[in-house]
Amino acid sequence: MNDVWIELRLWRQFVAVAEELHFGRAAARLHMTQPPLTQAIAALEGLLGVRLFDRTKRSVRLTSAGAALLPSAQDLLARARELPVRARAAAAGELGRLRLAFVSTVGFSHLPEWVRLFRTQFPDVKIELVEATGDVQLAALQAGQVDAGFVLHAPGFTPAGLNHLRVASEPLILALPDAHPLAVSGELRLSDVLAQPLVMFPRHIAPSLHDAVFAVYHGAGRLPVVTQEAIQMQTIVNLVSAGLGVAWVPESVRQFQRPGVRYREVKAGRGAAWCETSLVWVDADKVPALARFLAFVKTQITPER
């Protein structure tokens, strides 16, 4: 038999008769008269090519086919009743998909807890996390491949053409090999580290932050000596542990406890470098789940003093 389209109305009528096992009571439940209901059941049986009820003048019983079909029909009606609720939930950002990109440093601080809390509050929003550097994120946002991203940048910098919400501000600290003399020295000053070989991310990854680090050296009349580049912050720290140089990293990277590495603050006064993390996006109006996530993040940000 060819597939046929069966209206939801017929399934509702079948379920009423199957549950009542009485055409009169089922008709009253459906606010209709009995003859049209009898005709509707006959039409459904004709469409299916099977008999659903054994009927006598005194009784109505489900056939084996009718009994097997009833749970699926009841489930179909239940899901149909949920559709308006789900539609409103989707429009309110409480249902759907949210594609979030993030730089690795956010994984050391806010992201894990925020995702956990958001999923607890809105379990019907599926969050897809994609780790990516800032340059990759910006391209993905413009291409519509992600809905929003957490990027690392210099204070005050905002990516052109994107909306943004600053979620964190923190100083850059120095990661040094455990065996380095400066790892265990007294108070560490900027002048102590300017000549040290650097492990650093390429400029195209985060241009504003790269330039901010270089500006610290230029402000002290020096040029940084970059001996090794790496993209991911974990890789940078691993290279430091191997003795390839020192590295400026966000303070939150302290959470990455790599053997052979020590993190230290550097007294630099006004020459100190800071970084910011922002959530960036193109248009939250087109992605209700993103608008809901933005509202949530705003409740999690610690107000600045």
* Res. 257: pLDDT tops 90: no
Closest C-alpha among 197, 154, 205 to residue 175? 197
pLDDT above 90 (res 229): yes
Do residues 49 and 1 make contact, with C-beta atoms less than 8 angstroms apart?
yes
Does residue 293 have a pLDDT over 90?
yes
pLDDT on residue 82: 83
Is residue 104 within 8 A of residue 233, CB to CB? The reply is yes
Question: 3-class SS at 288?
Answer: helix
pLDDT band (50, 70, 90) for residue 3? low
Q: Where are the domains of the chain?
A: 8-91, 98-297
CA distance 265 to 189: 9
Q: What is the pLDDT of residues 108-161, one digit of tens each?
A: 888 999 999 999 999 999 999 999 999 999 999 999 999 999 999 999 888 888
Nearest to 96 by CA among 295, 290, 298, 296: 290
pLDDT of residue 304: 54
Nearest Cα residue to 38 out of 48, 50, 52, 49? 52
| 8-91 and 98-297 have identical folds | no
Strand-strand pairing, 163-177 and 247-250: antiparallel
CB atoms within 10 A of CB 145: 14
Residue 305 has pLDDT above 60, yes or no: no
pLDDT tens digits, one per residue of 183-212? 888 888 999 999 999 999 999 999 999 999
Six token digits for residue 3? 């597939």
pLDDT band at 58 (very low <50, low <70, confident <90, very high): confident
Predicted confidence at residue 89, as pLDDT, reads 67
CB atoms within 10 A of CB 1: 7
pLDDT of the residue at 57:
82
Residues 10 and 77: beta-carbon distance below 8 Å: no
Q: Does domain 98-297 have CATH number 3.40.190.290?
A: yes
pTM of the predicted model as reported, rounded to 2 decimal places: 0.73
- What pLDDT is attached to residue 269? 75
Q: Are 198 and 210 in contact (CB under 8 A)?
A: no
Confidence category of residue 80, pLDDT binned at 50, 70, 90: confident
What pLDDT was estimated at residue 303?
58
What pLDDT, on the 0 to 100 scale, is given for residue 1? 47
Contact at 8 Å (CB) between 110 and 152?
no
DSSP letter at 290? H
User: Among 178, 217, 186, 183, which Cα is nearest to 200's?
Assistant: 217
| SS3 at position 121 | helix
Interval 235-251: pLDDT, tens? 999 999 999 999 999 99
Fold of 8-91: Arc Repressor Mutant, subunit A (1.10.10)
